[in-house]
Structure 1
């Protein structure tokens, strides 16, 4: 099954609006054919996220272990510092709320003994979340490359503007939560070129 790559990078001496950065990211996307999207973080403007779809987890790992990795990613390494990557099974990029002006990317760490309670709370709260974020998709995924015995959920919600997403129903069902709101760098560049 295809897997979504979610990668967080920190900018190095370049502004998120610098077209050289977007050109470098677009070149990598064209080479790898991952249908990647590039997002800038609202809370921490020096962070960006890459969301890309791989045929499977092995395909991404094979690329990272290959000599082609340095050739493809090398040109952007002076602009970007790698922070982390996680993967989750995803049927298609269209399942994500990519058309939203702002996406909340949420990572939740869940202990073994709280997985069922978390899943129940999410199921119970799902309709409220879908209504609150309408007309944008809600994507709830489980990390497929977590360490044995660890569980991590990823939640992607779309918003008209940065929202303070409520997780009241899930409180106590996770060990930690990290939420970043992001905006589409390519859409912003396209809008800027039309003004």
Structure 2
């Protein structure tokens, strides 16, 4: 089952628009053939995200456990510090809102008791997002979540971070019972907005 990897990394003494960094990232992409896209965090420019497609979760894990990983990723060690990685099922990179000027990545924690209710509430939330942003919406359950936990990853596309904030404000201001019902069913672990590093550098 194909999966998309979303990895957060912290920059070590290098700017997100550094030609050396982009060359390094694109070189690894070419070797691994993951069709990766690189994003710079708006809220914290010292953070970047790598979104890449793997044939399966096991394929990525096997690579990381292999001697080849040190050879391929070694040149990045001086530039990047690993923070976290999340994998969800995804058929193709084209399913992501990569065409959007900005993407929002939100991690949510949901209890076992709330799973069914969350799924139903999210169906309504997704429709509202599509109507407001006009970009693709990707939502999936984390395949490598800690035992006994349920973590969802939501990836949406927006014109600006302000447009996303305005959408959330409208949902709350109009006392939308679907929005309130959905937000009561999860803990928001993390939300980041980011721009494509290669597109920004052109």
Q: TM-score, normalised by structure 2?
A: 0.90
Contact in 2 for aligned 1:110/1:176 (Cα 8 Å): no
SS in 1 for 2:201: helix
Secondary structure of the corresponding residue to residue 58 of structure 1: helix
Q: Which residue of 2 aligns with 1:48?
A: 48
Q: Deviations over 1:64-121 (max 9, x none)?
A: 0111111100001100000011111100001100010000011101111111121111
Match of 2:191 in 1: 179
Cα distance in structure 1, aligned partners of 2:124 and 2:54: 31
Q: Indicate the residue corresponding to 1:149 in structure 2.
A: 148
Contact 1:111 1:175 in 2 (8 A): no
Moved more, 83-92 or 138-147: 138-147
The correspondence of residues 70-85 of structure 1 with structure 2, limited to 5 A, is 70-85=70-85
Per-residue CA deviations over 1:155-188 (Å, capped at 9, x if unaligned) read 1110111121527512211023311000000101
Deviates more, 1:146-155 or 1:58-67: 146-155
How many aligned positions are there?
A: 189
Partner of 2:97: 97
Partners of 1:76 and 1:126 in 2: CA distance: 37
Structure 1 unaligned regions, length at least 5:
191-195
1:31: how far off? 0.4
CA distance in 2, matches of 1:112, 1:149: 8
Measured after TM superposition, the shift of residue 125 of structure 1 is 2.0
Equivalent pair of 2:106/2:188 in contact (CA under 8 Å): no
Residue 138 of structure 1: aligned partner: 137
- 2:158 paired residue number: 159
Specify the alignment match of 1:193 in structure 2: none
In 2, Cα distance between the equivalents of 1:149 and 1:115? 13
* Unmatched segments (≥5 aa) in structure 2: 173-178
Which of the pair is proportionally richer in helix?
A: 2
CA RMSD of aligned residues (A): 1.1
